[in-house]
Each structure stands twice: as C-alpha cells, then as structure tokens.
Structure 1
Amino acid sequence: MRSCNDIMRGRIRFQALLIVLFFAYLIGKLYCEQIRRHDYYYTEARNKYVTSKKLKGVRGEIFDMHGNLLAGNMPCQNVSVTPCNIKAQDDEKISRLIAETLGLDYEYVLKRVSLKTRTVKDESGKVLTLPLKYALIANNIHLEDARYLRQVLKKHSLARNVHFEDTFTRYYPKGTFLSNVVGITTRNQGSNRGEMGLEKRFEKQLRSDSGKKTYMRSLDGWQVGDKPLQEVSSHDGSNIFLTVVEPLQSILEDELDKAWEKFRPRAAYAVMIDPATGNVLAIAERPSFDPNDRKSLDNSAFKIRLISDIMEPGSIMKPLTVAGALECKAITPDTVIDCGNGTWYYNNRPLTDTHGYGRQDVTGVIRKSSNIGIAKIGLMMGEQNLYNSLRKFGFGSRTGLPLSPESSGIFHPVKRWDGQTITRLGIGYASACTPVQMARAYCALANNGKLPKLRLIDRTVDTESGKVTVMPPAEMQQIYPPEVIQQVVKMMIAVTEPGGTATRAAIPGYHVAGKTGTSHKVANGGYVGKYFASFVGFVPAEKPAFVLLVTVDEPKGAKFGGTVSAPVWKAMAERALKYMNIPPDVPQDESKKRH
C-alpha cells in the first residue's frame, strides 16, 4: 500500500509536469508569435502607426519666346473625408453642405460619406472588415471655393473629418490662344499627363517626379515628432520656351478670327516663319478650343490641322516649279510660253486658264498664274527633273516639327505617274501637302535657296538647377543656287503689282513677293465644288522678315486666293511689320506710282 508521502510526491510531480508543459506551450506560443509571425505583426503595427504621404512635384510650364506664360499651374485643393469618424446622423447634413457649396451631385457625395467600412483579406485569406479612413470627394477645387466650404462646415461644427489637400491643376491663362499647338493635359491618377500637342510631345520634360514622406502618426492621424522616418524628395518638371512670339501670334489669331466670321469656312490656317532661322514665329488655326473648358472638348479638338490636314496646293506650287526649270536650264526668265486662248489639250484631256493669256514670258506666266504656261514648262523639264526639283523643297517628307501626328503629304515617284501628272504636278495638283510643308518650302525662296529645319522649341530650363538647354538651329541645306532664287523672287513681286493676281496683298512702301492659290477639293475620288484659297509670301522681298502662309478651307461667298486669303495676309503682314519695326524698302516716289 502506498504511503501518504508517496501520494503527495506523485501529486507534486504531476503538478510540476503540468507547470513544465504550460511553460513549454507558452514558450512555443511566444516563439511562434514573436519569431515566426514577427513580420506579420510588425507590418500590422507599422500600418497602424506608420504612414506615408505622397510629395507632389510641379509640372513644368510652357512660355513663348519672351517668357509670356501659355500653360501654367494653378494652386487648388482636393477635398476628402474620413467616413469612419463621421457620425451616421451627420452623413446627410455634411453631404448636403458639400454638394451645395461645390455644385456636386448630392447622392454621389452621400454615397462616399456614408460608406464607413472596407473589406480586406489577411494572410490566411480571412475577410476582415476595417474602418474606411479616406474617401475622395472632389479634386482641383479653386482655393476660394475650398475656403468657403471650410467656413460653412465650421459654422455647423462639421469640419473635423473633412480634409483639404494642397495640389495644382493645369491652367491656360490665354484660353484659345495657340491652344491647338500647346495642347492639353488629362488628369491621370491625380497627376497632369499630356494628352495632345506640346503637352504630350514633351511629357518627359514637363512631368514632375513625386516623392514620399514616411512618418509615425498618433491615433488621431497627426505626425509624431519633427522629423519623418524617411523622405524622398519630389522633383519639378522643366519649363519650355517656344520660338513663338506672343504679339505676332495675337495678330494671326485676331485676323484669322475676322476671316472666320467673314467667310464662315470649314477651317482656316496661318503660319509665320523666320526663313533665316526656321523659327516658327506664330502658328494659328480655326476652329480652336479653350483647354480650360474640358467639358466642351470632343475628339475633333485633338488634332493640329496645320500639320495633319493635306491639300492639293494649287497655284502656290508654281514659283517652285519655275525655280526647278531655271536650275535645270529648261527655261530662262526671257523664255516665251504660248498660253493660248485659255484651253489646251494634253493626251486628250483639257487644261484651262481663267482667261486666254496668249504669249507670255515666264514672269507673265507667274503674274497671270497660267496653268497652261506652267504645264508646258513642266514638259520642257521632263518627268524626273520635275519630280526632283519639287522633292528638294521637302514635299513627301515631314517637316520635323515636334508635333504629332504629322502627315508627310502625298508625293508619288515618277513610276507611279499617269499620263497627265507631268502637266498637273507643277500647277499644284497630283500631289498634296500640309500648310506647314508649303510654308517651309517658301522659306527656301526667301532665304536664297536654303531650306531650313523648322524650330518650335527655343530652349528648356531646369527649374531646380536653373540649367538652360538651347535647341540650336539645324544646319540649312542649300537646295538651289542663290541666283536662281533671285530670279524667281523678282517674278513673285510682279504677282502683287498691278496686273498680278494678288494686288490685294500689296503693302505700300514694301516689295511683297508672293503667290495666290485656288485649288479644288477632292472627295470620293473626284473634285467637288469646294476650294482651298491660299496666299503665301514674304516681305520685304529682298530681305524678308518672315514667310507667311494663309489658307482658308471652303470659304463661303468667294473662292479665289487673291480675293479671300490675300487681304487676310496683308492685314497680318502690315501689323507684323509695324510690331517688328521693319522699315519700308520701296522709295516713296515709287510707292506712289505702284499704289
């Protein structure tokens, strides 16, 4: 029989074993929780007491040549709430105050405010319900509107869980001014992203890089301590300065608006270029849009017609054809062409002039804009010479402007010509180009045969370091001898003098070299009764300050380049000469005789 002591010792051993097992379990549990699940608990604690805040950089701005702002950043605020901290009985009142003050839909705001929780899955896949601490109500709210909302909420003692975050929105201070070229941005995950125009093309240079600040926070969300745990700085985008000069741009836009009202066309274009540098001084088109009014934008706004729309240029091609004929010695300025009675047949197809011009020297052919005369010059040149001479002006190739999408136009090689092409190409048919391509080609006429590469960006500036990067002009290509070009320029001056087709482009005191163009529009494989009316020229003729092209697409009430576009060109050029302080190049006595 066991003694009492044996029984007692057994009980003590059993109790000791239980204690050992308990502590072994406890140690195992602690090991599992503290060691094996350390990362999990660390993450949970960090998520509760450590938070990060995105540090936003500022997008680069766009300026004209002289620093006038075209696209900038406007300070504004985003409005958000902490739904889980808002009492249910206050949901409707807060929602109504926010909706009425900011002009938002009440049901939308109420839905955001009244949703108090969110569901997530933990590492085991278990669904957890957590309090919802953030809900965005509206972004890019003007500071005055945000300030007024804050006052309204404070008045009703409901401001505690409504938050205002400082940010920026893209702003275009001049509205429609140069809007097709500058472009527009679209909000993308809280950041401005270029959507079209220069905003899109130079997204890499303009965009900012966001940073991040990580810090300890208290239970009510405030930062603990003066210094963050970690901070990665944000970086602002670079500023871009264009070659465009705002006063010249204003002149083109103003006169284009007048033409828009007078002729009610489908579209209208104007581009001004410095032929000596290739700098685009002004570039305008209608219709345009206000990038600040995003709600009114449609897909048609996202297009730069000056580089994407193509047209058969018509008679503005003729001086370029003559330049080629002079260079290959198919003609001389004194060559006489029989333009006949106004109708001429080639390969059984008629070609007509407005009037019968009879026998004309080459200057007369240009002055009268004779289709028959230029067609016969094309025949004297031969197919390959005609093709090569016009190809050198850049037709069939993109201009290189930093805008997209840019069309290269239509300029078929000789092997794709039909029996009429040799008589049609030189007069501006059987090919198509953009307005900018034609303006660039005329720069070669204005610059003694040198074809420039167009410049739209003058420089970029790093806003943090101040480093200025200038975009140097590309080396120009001498495509024609100066003596040939000088002969053509003299012929073009005759176009704006008495007896020419563009007397309405003449400017008292100045020699104007230019050419009118009236071309049929193509639709469904044939010509329709609609036209492009153009005038392109430069002034002063001997030492041009600029090349200027004006094209009106489908003008109503008139159709000829000499009556539609030439007066618009003159109005633009006169104002530009005055702004640029270009002195007259015609003696006063001669000017009186001419006008």
Structure 2
Amino acid sequence: MSDKRPRNVSVFRVWLTAAVMLLAAGVLVARAVNLQVTDTEFLQSQGEARFLRQVEIPTVRGSILDRNGEPLAVSTPVASVWAHPGELLQASDRLAELAQLLDTPADELERRLTQRATREFVWLRRRVHPDLAEQVAELAIPGVFLQSEYRRFYPAAEVTSQVLGFTNIDDSGQEGLELAYDSWLQGEPGAKRVIKDRLGRVVQDVELIRDARPGRDLQLTIDRRLQYLAFRQLKQGIAEVGARSGSVVVLDVTNGEILAMVNFPSYNPNTSVRAVGEGIRNRAMTDVLEPGSVIKPFAVAAAMEAGLASPDMPVDTSPGTLRVSGHTIRDVRDFGETTVEGLLVKSSNVGVVQLVLSMDARHLWGLYSRLGFGAVTGTGFPGESAGVLRDYERWRKLEQATLAYGYGLSVTPLQLVRAMAAIADEGRLHQPSFIAGADNPVQSVMDPALARDLQDMLEAATGPEGTGGLARVPGYRVAGKTGTTRMVGTAGYESRYVASFAGFAPVSRPRLAAVVVINDPASDRYYGGQVAAPIFGQVMAAALRLFSVPPDDLTGLLAAAGDET
C-alpha cells in the first residue's frame, strides 16, 4: 500500500504541471488572438510611436531681383548634419573620425551629445558644403543623418549688402529689405507623416499633412549694373582722398524709384562672420549729416516763394562777413555785389543769410518741412532716420541764420536727393521706393515756375564760375550744388569735414537725381566741389548711358570730342 501512494502522487503532479502549462498556453494564445485579431490598434499604435514621425517639408525663401529680373538674393538647397545622441553614443568608437571630419574636438562633441542624451535630435553642423555632406554620408555612422535646408546667397556681395541685409541660420530676415519684407519672402513649411526605420531613414511616406508654400519673389527698383558702377566710383573716390566713409544715392526724378544706393565701407553677407559697426549700416538712410551749402537752393527758394527775392535781384555781400547775435558769418572771400543766382553760383553764406533773415521763420521752416526734412521718407526701411528739423518757434536769430547754409539741421542722403529731385520735377515731391511697381504718392511742394528758376540757377552753379564744375557730364546739362561742413566732435566743430554734392540731369528734361556724401577726407582736398562733385559726374554719366537718356548739350558733346582728339 505504501508503494501505491507515492505513485499516485507522482501522477497527480504530472497532470497538474500539464494543466498549468496548458492553461498558460491558452492564456498566451488568447492574448495573441486578442492583440492581432480583435484589438489590433494597440500594436499599431506602439509601432507607430516608434517609427511613425511627422517631419517638416522645407520650403524655399523668395528671391530678391533687380529691376531687370537679375538675382540679388537667392536661396540654394544645402545639407545639414544632425544626430540622434543616444544612437551615436552607442557607436562611441566612431566619434573621433566624425569629429575630425566636422573639424570639432572629439571630447567637445562627446560632451555635447552626453548633455543631450535624452533627446532624439541635435544639430551637429548646419549648411555644410556638398563635399562635406557626401563624406558624412559615406561614413555611415549610426545615429548621424543629413537633412535638406536652404542657404541664402547674394551674388553681388558687398555691392548690395547694406540695402538687402541678410538672413540668420533659419533663413529669417535680420537686416535691410530681408527684414522689412520677411513675411513676403518667407514661405510656409509643409508637413507630412513618414515611417522611419531604426536608423532614422525614411522608408515610406504615409500622409501629407500640409503642402509647403514657397516664398514670393521681391522685385526692386535697384539696377544692378548702376549699383556696381556707383559702388566702384565711390570706393575709388574714398581711396583717393583717404576718407573714412561715404554714400551715393541715385533716384528716378519722374517717380521716386531708387535706382542705386551704395555705401562704403561695406561687408560680404555670404561670409559666416557678420560685419559689425560701420560696415553693416546703410548710411544713406540711417546716418544724418548737416548738409552745409547743399541746402542753400532751398533757402533761396523760400525767399523767392515769399516774394523777397528773384534770380536777378542784386545782393551786396561786402565785406564778406556778417555779424549775427555776436557771431561772425564768413564767405571764403568778398564776393561784393552779386545776384541771387550768384549767391548759389559762388556759394555765399553772407548773401543767403541776408535773404533768410528777411523772412518770417515760419515760412523757412514750412518749405523745409514740405520738402521732407525732419521726417522719414516712407520707404519702410528698418532703422531709417528722420533727421532733425527743430520747430521754428524755438529758433533763435542765429539758428535761423545758420539754417540758411546748412547748419542746425540734420538730414539723410536720401532726404537730400529726394528734395533735389523735387526741384527737378517742377516742385513735385515723390515718396521714394525700393519696390518695383509700388504706388509712390506725390505731392506738390513748390510752384512749378519757381522750380524752373531754381533749375537754371543750379545749372549755373555747375558752370565755369560755379563751385560744382567737376560734376558736369559731357553732352548733358547738369544742375546741382556743392556742400562742405565741419564735423562735430566732443569739443564742438573740428577741422574734419563732410563733402557733398546733390544734383540732377539733364536740365532740359530732368530724369535722374543723385547725391554723393564723403565723410572725413584725410587729404588737403575736402571741399564738396573737389571731392564729391567728380564722383557725381562719373556716376551720373554711367546712369544716363544705362537708361538711354538722350544728350541735351550737343555743343558740350562736340567740345568734349574735340578735346579727346
């Protein structure tokens, strides 16, 4: 009986074990059926959580074009290198060769990855050269991937840099027109769902969530050819007199379009290191200057508008000095008795001050204000300065006197050429614009007959007896005015100068206006007629030729041809 009992126990254990195993197998089969047949969403969601990703579809930023459709700023596709820190750290034996290829210390690369080990994405190097991207791909290091992006390229480099500005690493505008029209130029990235394998490679597109919308192109009024020529002449002129900086602006008299705007020093926006300080500013719009004698035509216009002067009216400037509120105003020499036109031709401070002091301060302020001094021009350019024109009620007699010859107010080069263009267009002041086809509002700020008188007087200022003779262009009648002002330092006005010239051509039918400003010439030549006027003549000659403006001075053209032979 004792032998039978152990045998029964053994059989019971076998059956018990078999029953447990069958029960476990049944549970597993039931669970498998439940997951794979009844409740399939669980496995699908778990798989998608590991391999289904929403990725961005990159879009291209709109191009910036000149008035003739030539590219000034374009975006080109490039590759960027990124990594999955966890996967890459598992292949730590490959870090050294990756670091060498990316020109990064291996320990620094490992430290960056370790600090971000919980993340799934980290940039290693953005916008790399195609050759480097190819070398990275050939390494086939686990956890290292390439992603397509766009990089901004500026074909004209430093020639257009201060007008266009630049974008940051994410292709968003940071300066200039890139910033002002960022929302126009910047497209909207698309999105899609994809399946990736364990190495992060896309193996299947699943669903398009949103189409990518490319940015819109922006066509400017700038003429790239004229921009190059103006930049070259400005750079050469600055080098000849050892000046610190300068600007040139060319404007279409008939509609206010900005045809060229250059500054020097400049910078190359295609380099990785952005210039800072002087090189990055668009001086023609952000910097102000006391215009000096360039303002005299507008002071004379105010006197003529008030009925206090006419072109042929005699003015006695003897003895070449004038006391105002205890201060002496001087001419470069005693011009004696001359006419109102002669005041502009000889650039007499004494004579213009006499005219200005004979009128009500409000009237002078009114004309200056109508011409746009003391207010932004309306281009929408970031950082544009309004200049300074104090309210006439705060003027003292001396301040009113100095305003006659360009001290006591501040203007930008763009404001100056815009006002000169108003004289050229018979008293019509246009809102300047960088954008082709823009609606540039125009307002009448001066009687057309008065503007025509000023045109003739300013043409005489570039004649044989005038200070602006070097601004003349063979074959064309040129009008304009020189300016020379002292620069302000910590202790007041110094023996450092700003030379300028503003004018237009051809006088018979004005089409183009331009201004040249040269800051701090280091040579013994610092007058506007010596420094700025020649640059004006060279730039204006190129502009008239490029825009096929017919000559209006055949006598001068024949004389120039005779001199060459």
TM-score, length basis structure 2: 0.87
Distance in structure 1 (CA, Å) of the matches to 2:215 and 2:111: 37
Q: Secondary structure at the match of 1:108?
A: helix
Which of 491, 495, 501 is the aligned partner of 1:529?
495
- Partner Cα distance (2:285, 2:41) in 1: 58
User: Which residue of structure 2 lines up, in the alignment, with residue 69 of structure 1?
Assistant: 71
| Superposed displacement of residue 545, structure 1 | 2.5
CA deviation map 1:474-516 (0-9, x unaligned): 2x11111111111111111111111111111122221110000
Aligned counterpart, 2:508? 542
| Aligned match of 2:52 | 50
- Counterpart of 1:104 in structure 2: which amino acid? T
Deviations, residues 259-300 of structure 1 (Å, cap 9, x unaligned): 121122221000000010100000001111111113252244
Assess, with a 3 A threshold, how the Cα gap between structure 1 residues 478 and 40 changes in structure 2: closer, same or farther. farther
In structure 2, the residue matched to 1:107 is 107
Distance 1:81-1:590 versus aligned 2 partners, 3 A rule: closer
Give, in whole Å, the separation in 2 of the partners of 1:135 and 1:396: 50
Q: 1:421-464, CA deviations, whole angstroms, 9 ceiling, x for partnerless residues?
A: 22111211111111111111001011011000101111xxxxxx
Query: Match for residue 336 of structure 2?
Result: 358
Q: Deviations over 1:44-99 (max 9, x none)?
A: 654223211111111111111111111111221011234444575x524x333333
Could you say which residue in structure 1 is the equivalent of 2:452?
486
Cross-structure match for 1:281: 259
**Corresponding letter in the other structure for 1:106:** A
Conservation of the 8 A alpha-carbon contact between 1:84 and 1:116: no
Alpha-carbon displacement from aligned partner over 1:351-394 (angstroms, at most 9, x marks no partner) = 00001000011111110000001001102222121111221111
Distance 2:445 2:122 in 1: 63
Task: Indicate the SS of the match to 1:592.
Answer: helix
What is the aligned counterpart of 2:528 among 551, 557, 561?
A: 561
CA contact (8 A) 2:66 2:223 kept: yes
Partner of 1:464: none
Which residue number in structure 1 is paired with residue 137 of structure 2? 150
Aligned partners of 1:269 and 1:295: how far apart in 2? Answer: 24
CA contact (8 A) 1:268 1:550 kept: yes
The answer as to whether partners of 1:280 and 1:454 remain within 8 angstroms in 2 is yes
Q: Could you list the per-position Cα deviations for residues 143-178 of structure 1 after superposition, in whole angstroms to 9, with x for gaps in the alignment?
A: 122123334x2xxxx445432212111111221121
Partner of 2:307: 329
1:213 aligns with 2:179: no
1:22-101 alignment runs, 5 A limit: 46-86=48-88, 88=90, 90-92=91-93, 94-101=94-101
1:256, 1:270 within 8 Å by CA — same for their partners in 2? yes
Task: Report if aligned partners of 2:317, 2:350 keep a CA contact under 8 Å in 1.
Answer: yes
Give the Cα–Cα distance (whole angstroms) in 2 for the partners of residues 82 and 318 of structure 1.
Answer: 68
User: Secondary structure in 2 aligned to 1:575?
Assistant: helix
Correspondence 1:140 to 2:135 = no
Correspondence for 1:437? 415
User: How is 1:140-539 mapped onto 2 (pairs within 5 angstroms)?
Assistant: 140-151=127-138, 153=139, 158-159=140-141, 161-187=143-169, 191-223=170-202, 227-458=205-436, 470-474=437-441, 476-524=442-490, 526-539=492-505
CA drift of 1:327 comes to 1.6
Q: Which moved more, 1:142-151 or 1:567-576?
A: 142-151
Report the TM-score, using the length of structure 1 for normalisation. Answer: 0.83
Deviation at 1:418, TM superposition (A): 1.5
Question: Which residues of structure 1 form unaligned runs of 5+?
Answer: 1-18, 120-131, 459-469
Two-structure CA RMSD over aligned residues (Å) = 2.9
Q: Deviations over 1:225-279 (max 9, x none)?
A: 5x51452112111110100011111111010110121122221000000010100
Name the CA distance, whole Å, in 2 between partners of 1:223 and 1:105: 30
Partner AA of 1:383 in structure 2: A
Tell me: CA distance 1:251–1:116, structure 2 relative to 1, closer, same or farther (3 Å): closer
Structure 1, 212-221 or 280-289: larger mean CA deviation: 212-221
TM superposition shift of 1:108 = 2.9
CA contact (8 A) 2:64 2:73 kept: yes
Q: What amino acid is aligned across from residue 72 of structure 1 in structure 2?
A: V
Distance 1:398 1:221, change over 3 A: closer
Percent of pairs with identical residues: 28
Q: Which whole-Å CA distance do the structure 2 matches of 1:481 and 1:183 have between them?
A: 39
Helix, strand or coil: the match of 1:423? helix
Letter in structure 1 aligned against 2:92: D
Q: Using the alignment, how far apart are the partners of 2:236 and 2:152 within structure 1?
A: 29
Match of 1:577 among 528, 537, 544: 544
Displaced runs of 4 or more, over 6 A: 38-43
Aligned residue for 2:421, secondary structure, equals: helix
User: Residues of 2 paired with 1:543 and 1:117: CA distance?
Assistant: 68
**Pairwise CA distance, 1:332:** 1.3
Show structure 2 runs of 5+ residues with no match. 1-19
State the alpha-carbon separation in 1 of the partners of residues 236 and 265 from structure 2.
13
Change (3 A) 1:47 1:299: farther
| Partner residue in 2 for 1:129 | none
CA 1:446–1:45: 2 relative to 1, 3 Å: same
* Alignment length (residue pairs): 531
SS in 2 for 1:165: strand
Equivalent-residue separation in structure 2 for 1:411 and 1:96 (angstroms): 64
In structure 2, relative to structure 1, the CA distance for the partners of 1:591 and 1:369 (3 Å cut) is farther
Q: How far apart, CA to CA, are the structure 2 residues paired with 1:591 and 1:411?
A: 45
2: distance between equivalents of 1:528 and 1:86? 63
| 1:555-586 Cα shifts (integer Å, max 9, x gaps) | 11121000011111111112222222222211
Please, which moves more after superposition, 446-455 or 261-270? 261-270
Quote how far apart the aligned CAs of 1:343 are.
Answer: 1.3
Alpha-carbon deviation of 1:534? 0.3
Find the aligned partners of 1:385 and 1:220 in 2 and give their Cα distance.
Answer: 77
Alpha-carbon distance in 1 for matches of 2:270, 2:300: 47
Q: What SS does the corresponding residue of 2:173 show, helix, strand or coil?
A: strand
Query: What does the per-residue CA deviation read over 1:376-424, in whole Å, with 9 as the maximum and x for residues that have no partner?
Result: 1102222121111221111111111121211111101111111202211
Taking a change above 3 Å as real, the CA distance of residues 145 and 379 of structure 1, as seen in their structure-2 partners, is same
Alpha carbons 2:88, 2:141 under 8 Å: kept: no
